[in-house]
Amino acid sequence: MPTCPKCNKILSTDQALQYHMQSSSCKVTCIESDTPKYDYEFHTNLKGELIYVSDNFVKLVNWSYDDMIGTKAFEYLHPDDRDHVRDLHVDILLNKTSGQSYKRMVDKEGVSHFVQHFHKYIIEDGDSRIKIRGNKINFPKEKIFCII
| Residue 108 banded pLDDT, cuts 50, 70, 90 | very high
| Residue 16 banded pLDDT, cuts 50, 70, 90 | low
| Residue 84 banded pLDDT, cuts 50, 70, 90 | confident
Where is pLDDT greater, at 21 or 121? 121
| Residue 28 banded pLDDT, cuts 50, 70, 90 | very low
Name beta bridge partners: 133: 41, 118
